[in-house]
Chain A
């Protein structure tokens, strides 16, 4: 199973942009890149996903490197409610399985 590597933790000031990096050097050609976030004692919440092109939605943007070996989740203006553990996950298109890495704990400072 392909794996992802993320920094353990990051900090951001409120209302500033946040760039959360993820390395996935063993990604295969059909693996989609998915991002979720998890608040304490809750299930993960879908944020965004993509294959090759950069993606935008109301929550965030996803920038994917040209070689697809890394990606960056961009929160344009961090709020206190964005404090969570963010997981970068590769979705196996054959089994649909997600293999979670350790995630990045984002702390947002007021």
Chain B
């Protein structure tokens, strides 16, 4: 299957700092990417839809000024957690959509575990 690379896989940061997470589609172009958050023993929660060349669309309750999303190319979307606090500690997962191809599915990255001290 298609490969989506997510980096870093694990990050620890101090409260008040910002953290950037990258999501790359390695062997296909993705007009649309998605960002999810997952707390322990819970399901994935969709945070936002990232569209190449336009502003991201955020789900209800997700602060757009806190979770900055940039999708500058067809193979790269970034999520920046600004002024991180301990309650932002979570597992963040991205996916890239193959819409426009015959498959029409999402491929997921391996996730980034964020720990805010």
Contacts and interface: CB of A to CB of B under 8 A. Distances in A.
Interface string A82-110: 00000100010001111111110000000
Contacts of A87: 43-44
B99 A96 contact: yes
A71 B104 CA distance: 19
A68 interface: no
A95 B31 CA distance: 12
Among B6, B46, B108, B109, the most chain A Cβ lie within 10 Å of the Cβ of B108
B99 A98 contact: no
B75 interface: no
B51 to A, nearest CB: 10
Interface string B89-106: 001010101010000111
Among A34, A41, A96, A98, the most chain B Cβ lie within 10 Å of the Cβ of A96
B25 interface: no
A97 B97 CA distance: 9
A43 B109 contact: yes
A100 B99 contact: no
Contacts of A45: 108
A91 B98 CA distance: 12
A43 B111 contact: yes
7 contacts: A41-B91, A43-B6, A44-B44, A44-B95, A45-B108, A46-B106, A49-B105
